[in-house]
Amino acid sequence: MDKNMDKKKLKAPSVCFDLPDNYEELCRVDLQKDGSLAVLVNILALVIFLAGGVIGHQFVPIHTFYSMSDGMLLYFVRLAAACAGVVLYVFLHESVHGIFIKHYSGRKAQYGFTGLYAYAGSEAYFNKRQYLVIALAPIVIWGIVLTVFLIYVPESWFWAVYFIQLINLSGAAGDLYVVWKFSGMRRDILIRDSGTDMTVYAPVQEADIGQGSR
């Protein structure tokens, strides 16, 4: 195949459960086994969380969250609601991944927990566009929902909701990383995400193209 072929003409097959014969592994992302990458993603998550906290403080001072001016009972209610909201969000986040996995593959996602994070995976091979949608769906959908809540909740409840938004943004650091990494790759790649690692495949004769500098 001519290496100067217009990449716009390249197109990966639709979602499948058997890897096409002309595809081979291009690269793999495994946050469990790649310690340096795991550290990088965690640093990214921390930066997003702190930066988001600074931004939120500009709108509503953080002391409004732990203020007891409206009573100790309401303070503990807000605290409990924020903690419960974070736990619930983890399930909702993975559920959205699962919904889009089911939408594209026709099969239910496989859910699990590694001890460090929850995940939704699949045995399917998704094309690039499908996988990017699956990866970004939770942060976009819940980001919009939580923003609407932030607009209408009383000021004293702002940080109870905004803390969940910070988890939404920072907790998606891994998703954002793979979106950044995979978005620069060729159009016809296939991606299999087991939930704990992601493997990218490309046509055999072109497997050395598209890795780029990432």
Q: What is the pLDDT along the chain (214 residues), one digit of tens a residue?
A: 444 444 444 555 666 888 988 999 999 999 888 889 989 999 999 999 999 999 999 999 998 888 777 778 888 999 999 999 999 999 999 999 999 999 999 999 999 988 777 889 999 999 999 999 999 999 999 999 999 999 999 998 999 999 999 999 999 999 999 999 999 999 999 999 998 899 999 998 644 545 544 4
Whole-angstrom distance, CA of residue 107 vs CA of residue 122: 8
DSSP assigned state of 213: T
Q: Would you call 14 exposed, middle or buried from its count of C-beta atoms within 10 A (0-12, 13-18, 19+)?
A: exposed
Element (H, E) at 85: helix 72-105
> What local confidence, expressed as pLDDT, does residue 12 receive?
59
> What local confidence, expressed as pLDDT, does residue 34 receive?
87
> What local confidence, expressed as pLDDT, does residue 177 receive?
95
CA-based nearest residue to 137, from 162, 109, 112, 101: 101
Whole-angstrom distance, CA of residue 125 vs CA of residue 157: 42
Beta strands in the chain (DSSP E): 23-29, 110-113, 118-121, 126-127, 190-193, 198-203
Whole-angstrom distance, CA of residue 116 vs CA of residue 73: 32
Whole-angstrom distance, CA of residue 116 vs CA of residue 105: 27
CA-based nearest residue to 175, from 107, 102, 95, 93: 93
What pTM did the predictor assign? 0.84
Whole-angstrom distance, CA of residue 149 vs CA of residue 143: 10
Residues sharing a CB contact under 8 Å with residue 17, sequence separation 6 or more, in sequence order = 105, 123, 124, 125
Residue 121 in tokens = 């995976």
DSSP assigned state of 132: H
Q: Looking at the DSSP assignment, which residues form a beta bridge with residue 202?
A: 24
Distances (CA, A) of 52 to 24, 47, 62: 40, 8, 12
Residue 104 in tokens = 């594209």
